[in-house]
Amino acid sequence: MSDNVIQFRSIAEQKHYPKSLSDTAEKAMDTETQFGGGSGGGSSDVLGERVARLESDVEYIKRDVSEIKVDIREIKNELKEVRLDIHREANKYMVFTAGLIVGSMAIMATIFAYIK
């Protein structure tokens, strides 16, 4: 089985995300004041900055989603390995049990033959 360890980062550890909901609320309030309440009252430069920030955020989201997809693939592969290991172990025990039953029957037959 693979010795790879998957490490998950908390959202707060990722620098491009706010550390708390209060940070997000404060930024939203600052944005409303700075950009005229989000009603389209800002200049085209401000709108361009907002679009650029949104595009940057989308890039981070795309990167994170691609990392999650890789992690899911790794988890699926490890799960397949675990399933195969379980089947191998189960087969070993079935063979052992069958051998034990056959051996016990042979001993019993020998004992019965000796008793007669």
16-28 pLDDT per residue, tens? 555 555 555 566 5
CB 78 within 8 A of CB 1: yes
CB 70 within 8 A of CB 4: no
- Phi and psi torsions of 10, nearest 5°: -75, 155
Q: Where are the domains of the chain?
A: 20-115
Q: At what angle do helices 21-35 and 44-115 cross, to 10 degrees?
A: 160
pTM over 0.85? The answer is no
Digit-coded pLDDT (tens) for 63-72:
999 999 999 9
